[in-house]
Chain A
Amino acid sequence: MYGFGLLKGFSVTALNMARTPFTVQYPDRRVGLFGLAQASGMNPLQFAMKRPGDAVRAILGMAKIKVELPQAPRFRGQDFIWYVERCTGCASCAKLCPLGIIRIVTDPAGRETQEGEVYDVEVFDIDLARCMACGICVEVCPYDALHMGSGFERSKYAFKNLLITVDELKQMPKRPSTWFRPQLEAKGYDPHTGNEADWRLVGRHEMPNLTQLKKSWVDDRTK
């Protein structure tokens, strides 16, 4: 019968009208009285008694609550977590970045340890305006010093503000993504729910024993 297919199609759209929507409101969500009371952990009546002003605003449809989007632990965001304790300034990340947007300037620290000279990283610029979050810098880091972060709300008004400097990297909250870091995944670390990760936690290896390290160095060199 002509038109039957159309009606069958309308049955699908009618079904989908009854379903819960899959769209997510971001960055905040408009809530009514019940939603606002639920968000503050009270029942609506109690809420209306305690905070009548907010309750009226919620009834009028003017109340908003912030939405936290669920993210996978491996999410590759637009910021970087850097552990200065682990970094030796080898600049592998700068050499192997496909776009060449990492700039590192190192300086001999003037102190010698048993395994060799230590370098201070003076400049560590990552130009996020051109970063494509491929994570190759993280993949090639031999000392697990650089990690991807999970942030994505880094919009700025000027390109020059998108540059991450070494000071910003030092102050960044240490919540590394588990991308290319199976050791963090094995420890059950989640950057969104877990605590800030210490530099001792994030490495592939335990701290090397300095005497053993020196012995292996000397042995390898004399061979």
Chain B
Amino acid sequence: MTLRTEPVTINIGPHHPSTHGVFRLRVTFDGEVIVDAEPVFGYLHRGTEKLAEERTYVQFVTLTDRMDYVASMTNNQGWVLAVEKLAGITPSPRGVWLRMISAELQRIASHLVAIGFFLQDLGAFATPLMYTMRERERILDLFEILCGARITYSYMRPGGVFQDAPQEFWPRLDTFLKEMPHYVDEYERLISGNEIVLVRTKGIGKVPADTLINASASGPILRAAGVDWDLRKKDPYEFYDRVKFDLPLAKESDNFARYIVRIQEMRESLKIVTHCKEQIEPGPVRPKEVPFLVRPPRGDAYAHIEAPKGELGYYVVSDGSIAPYRCHVRAPSFINLTLLRDMLVGWKVADMIVTFGSIDINMGEVDR
């Protein structure tokens, strides 16, 4: 007796708990092996770029929060850098230091979510996620002291930040900086040596470095392939040339390498925050002459930053009015996600969600 077999196409999502939002994946299986995978985007499209055309430059800061809602601070930072470049605003030094501190704290918070949900996808149900959320909660508390919100901050303005950090922020930050390395050690003790995690992640979801570069992927996913590329080093914006930090790299370009790069980046971010705290100088957080209604001259500008997920760029065209003529966002999640097919083909069903979780995408940013 012979069994007649044929490939089966299955839709994962758009409403599936493990797809991190509304994301649809059309996968063709041959038995348990993935033959083809096609990511389908656009279920969370809100037209943010179009909405920018009818908002003023400061009003759009509130909408950048809603793109990558796990790392809102870095979204704000990219936008205000683009506006500053367009309008020729020189930011206040204290404002820039505060922006760097909050951006690096946000990077830690975003990586904590990435690691927690990556392990959740792996089947380590809730325990590592709860541990990472516990530390993320401390960072959110810091942000609440700083800007009064926990997720959608709208903290930054062209020229700096809107308000100086209050007095009670600094001792809380010191406590956090002192305790956080121990918690990172704890994650490593819990996860990095765990045999089940190693078997499920090592050597799985491999992508060669040249494929990553050709697809213009960026962020931890690129550094996990051994490519030494970080905009904080290669094109230092703000005051990143004044702080010392290393660039964690891994060679394997598999799921485990992406995880370990993120863990090490959290340590480096803590270092950067410490450096910033040492070098911060008193003064105004925003130049007085920057108006609320910024009117940049005609022209265009592109500013890019190293967001937790990769290169986040804002391209803004101005026609001299109070609102941008056109705005384009280069979202790192979107571009990294296009590599999903290269990672998945040839692996099993169980590896699919793990690999998907290791890219660390955010659907709010993919569809914008």
Contact = CB atoms under 8 A, between A and B. Distances in A.
Interface of A: 2-6, 8-9, 11-13, 15-16, 22, 71-76, 96, 98, 132-136, 139-140, 148, 177-180, 182, 185
Contact of A8 (B131, B152, B166, B193): B193
B152 A6 contact: no
A98 B148 contact: no
Contacts of B190: 8-9, 12-13
A132 B59 contact: no
Given A5-B194, A8-B193, A11-B189, A180 B162 contact: yes
Contact of A74 (B137, B148, B192): B148
B162 A136 contact: no
Given A5-B195, A76-B149, A136-B62, 12 more contacts: A5-B198, A12-B189, A22-B134, A72-B148, A75-B144, A96-B59, A98-B63, A133-B149, A135-B148, A140-B292, A179-B148, A179-B163
A209 B292 CA distance: 27
Given A74-B144, A132-B152, A4 B193 contact: yes
A15 B63 CA distance: 42
Contacts of B149: 75-76, 133
A98 B52 CA distance: 10
Interface string B161-201: 01110100000000000000000001001111111101000
Contact of A16 (B131, B147, B163, B164): B131
Contact of A132 (B58, B62, B131): B62
A50 B193 CA distance: 57
A216 to B, nearest CB: 20
Contacts, number: 83
A60 to B, nearest CB: 30
Interface size class of B (residues with CB under 8 A): 35 or more
A80 to B, nearest CB: 14
A2 B59 CA distance: 56
Interface in B38-60: 55-56, 58-60
Contacts of B166: 73-74, 178, 185
A2 B193 CA distance: 10
A6 B63 CA distance: 44
Nearest to A185: B166
B148 to A, nearest CB: 4
A193 B226 CA distance: 53
B145 interface: yes
B250 to A, nearest CB: 19
A9 B191 contact: yes
